Structure 1
Amino acid sequence: MGSGDNRGAERRNAREWAVDIGAFLFAACFLVLSTDQVVIEPGTSGTALALDQLRGGLACAALFLRRRRPVELAVVLLLLEPFSHFMAGPIMVALFTVAVRRPPRVTGYVAILAFAPLPFVLAHRPDLDDPRTGSALTYFVLLAATVGWGLYVRSRRQLIASLRERADQAAADARREAREDVAREMHDVLAHRLSLLSVHAGALEFNPDAGRDQVARAASVIRESAHQALQDLREIIGVLRAPETGDRPQPVLADLERLADESRKAGADVRLDLEVDGGLEAAPAVAGRTAYRIVQEGLTNARKHGSDSGAPVTVTVRGGAGRGLTVEVRNPAPSPGAGSSARVPGAGQGLIGLAERALLAGGTLEHGRVDGDFRLRAALPWPGTAPAAAPQAAPAPDTTH
């Protein structure tokens, strides 16, 4: 491991210190409780036994290094095991640490070293009644259980980390989608209102000799549009501040008449051609809302980029259950090179946002010049079954001769 890992290991938090102390106490208690089960070779002096126990205690104390050097610690303890009868507890803790904190390949190498004496023990065909045989087999069973438990803990931690990462990514995606939804909503709503403001303000600026009635009418539209823009902005901000209280009311297809009236008050010549099975109220909410936003953006673009503020804008809506909903907005396109300094500037994001809206609704959007007009056309799904055609009457029999 690099120096960064070492510095991180030195700065243990309270939980890590508690875990390390618990590991030390486990190894120490295992040493004390298994003392009576350790088979002492005949002729072993009391001094040698005390030194053996001291080595076991030092091995327990060395476990505080397991976070910095888990593999090295495990290898050293395994190499010292033949010279001490009290290494089982520290070795189990060290092997568990390696299995949890290191890749399975490294764990496998350390496990091979740990189980290397087992073939030699079995090769000598030990007597099962010999206490030393039972002690050795118990030792290897404990090592196997320790490695298996460590690998399980490692896999579980990786699973939890993966799930947490997916949850964080999902939350980030949700926040990004929410920001995009709010951006589209603010663009669609405010661009429409502010374009009305700009058109009338521009008319007042470039027509200073307008009569009092015209000025009053333009000022009224400006005031109403500004009030509506502030109201829409307040509603959007309210949703952002308290999203759990519910979404703001969304427009439907039946609101197209109101939208067209607003543009007509601003001086636009908006012509509606609506033919929807069952009436505008019958359109699905998603398709109706998307169609409304498409028409709204089309009218805004006509004011911004149209060849003439008084040129007609034709809005055509056709559709029904089972055959989808088609929305088309057409207005005369400006001639190449034509422009006016009074035109409303655009951010260039409106059509991109509409394409995203149409895609989210399951439809498609296309735009461009057609026969001298700028056309904005969308096809949106309308699930259902189209009404069956009326049966045709059978032809009358021919009685002429």
Structure 2
Amino acid sequence: MESGNTTISLYENAVPSFVEPQLDALYGHVFSSLAQFRVYDGIDGNTHTYVAQSGSAASAILLFKVSDKHLHVLNEQIAMEPAEINRFARYAFSTWPNVDVIRFPAILADGSALAFPHQQFYRTEDIVLTLPPTPEDYLNALGKATRKNFKYHGNRLKRNFPTLKFDVWIDGAIPESHVRDIIELNRARMATKNKESEIDAEETHRLTRLVQQAGLVSTMILDGRVVAGTVCSRVGQNYFMHINAHDPAYDDARLGKLCCYMTICDCIERGGKEFHFMWGRFEYKYLLLGVQRDYDELTVYRSHARMLLHGASAFRIAYSGYSREWKFRLLDLANKPDESSLLLRTAARSLNFVRHLKQSGLRGAVMRH
């Protein structure tokens, strides 16, 4: 089928193998890669593939599933022009007359230019560092205080722990034991903050499979034991940090930040283009020059009438979206002591308190009952 100068192809209940490299080249994100979908069971016999081709290059490749009146796009953390979204929506609504709703779980898009009624709310962030040509360029770009701290703690490590060794493994050479060791360090680190890790045995196995297909794992080893490490997947020349952890016993040595910095330098030396710190608004990611990209949940409706027909669902989406946006606005304000509004700062601190209470006391009460 042709739409203007664009040719559209649909592969029903199939994901052709040729789209894998094109997906990686077009979106360059692990959450829109076949490797991620395969490892996390995201695709099956009910998965369709939409390909929009402009000349020799694909302008959109979307994997999706259709269930009753809903179409759910699997690609996450992608950027799409409004014209591409409109083209896909028109094609989908025409091909599946029963579908009323199309959902993009995490997309960077200008919703104001969409031709269909829609809802758009903040969903998640990805903090991204555009990698410079050399590690020296990267070091020089860091803030003066950050450079000074890295130099101080690096020299201190060499003096206090002369046998400390930094190693890097890639793809199939990555030892599963190192991934497990780094995950255990993450558990220990979270335990010091009275938090529980969400990485269980199944997630450990899946993450290991993912990075062994295409990834990079770095470790700091002292006396034969992993004391810090970073676990990254890779899509093309883009690296995605899933875990960065260190032994809490070495907090004063700044092992976690140093390991992350050295990992970034290794990615630069390998010709990397982007280093994705992923979600989590931690200060060190910004100190290491990460820039936040916000992605929205976008829900597109066939018409205003169909949107009203799904009024209850639309209300839940709006409630969840506004709640999520205010939550992160307040959390951001809590970290800005120069804000003039005492009311907002108090609300933000209250939200932090409630969240901590939920993670500690309330969780314990639930477990006891």
TM-score bin, normalised by smaller chain: under 0.3
TM-score, length of structure 1 as denominator length: 0.18
Q: Which has the higher relative contact order, 1 or 2, with Cα contacts under 8 A spaced 6 or more apart?
A: 2
Q: Whose radius of gyration is greater, 1 or 2?
A: 1
Per residue, is there more helix in 1 or in 2?
1
TM-score, length of structure 2 as denominator length: 0.19
Per residue, is there more strand in 1 or in 2?
2
